[in-house]
Structure 1
């Protein structure tokens, strides 16, 4: 997984990823960023999965949600689960949901390394 962290004087901390992993950048930048509560919850999920207390855990976000298992980390845009939304009324406008970039996955170890690198970059202490 290739990424770059940037401290932008206007927009603050940002994460940039390759196109196929771009959702990780959006998630880190918009959902997690420097939110201590979110980071603490995320680190707690990592520890629970590492301790094999559960098979799969989910962290629901405003726009993007994480599903974490001991094998992988899966990010999904919440709009993918809006099945009750009837978009047929927009068919005359030729509108469709572009699912490209709304799903990303990486291995568990890569994800843990990413989160630790992010915490170090934003100077969030991992230890209590």
Structure 2
């Protein structure tokens, strides 16, 4: 999983760019977490509690994306994917959701968050 963090020099906004299959992680970091350091600390604390066996699961529902953590992985999913389909798709059809769902190991996700935290501190 490759990623890059940038700050817009015009408006100061932050942007996380991730490699293919992990784009939703970048959008979650940029749009849901952003520069909210208290939310970042809360997610890092939840990871520590999961690793210590004090928590079994953690969920953070945002405006557009939901973060779900367990003791093995982190999953970021667009909230629109939770809708009930009124019409069944034909066998040969499927919904394109590659940019709406991303998953990675919990330790990898922790490293990403720590890198994000360092990026915010230096910029």
**Does TM-score exceed 0.5, indicating one fold?**
yes
1:15-65 CA distance string (max 9 Å, x none): 101121000110000000101332132122112212211222111111111
Q: Look up the match of 1:111.
A: 109
Alignment of 1:9-28 (within 5 A): 9-11=9-11, 12-28=13-29
RMSD: 2.0
Offset from partner CA, 1:71-119 (integer Å, 9 cap, x none): 1101111111122x75x6xxxxxxx964231111001110000000000
TM-score (norm 1): 0.80
Alignment of 1:84-95 (within 5 A): 86=86
Paired residues in the alignment total 115
* Distance of 2:105 and 2:3 partners within structure 1: 15
| Alignment partners' CA distance in 2, 1:98 and 1:20 | 12
Q: TM-score when scaled to structure 2?
A: 0.83
Residue 121 of structure 2 is matched in structure 1 by 123
Distance 1:31 1:3 in 2: 17
Structure 2 runs not aligned, ≥5 long: 88-93
Q: Using the alignment, how far apart are the partners of 2:111 and 2:96 within structure 1?
A: 30
Bigger drift between 59-68 and 2-11 goes to 2-11
CA distance in 2, matches of 1:4, 1:13: 11
For structure 1, the 5+ residue unaligned runs are 89-95
Residue of structure 2 in register with 1:63 after alignment: 64
- 2:8 corresponds to: 8
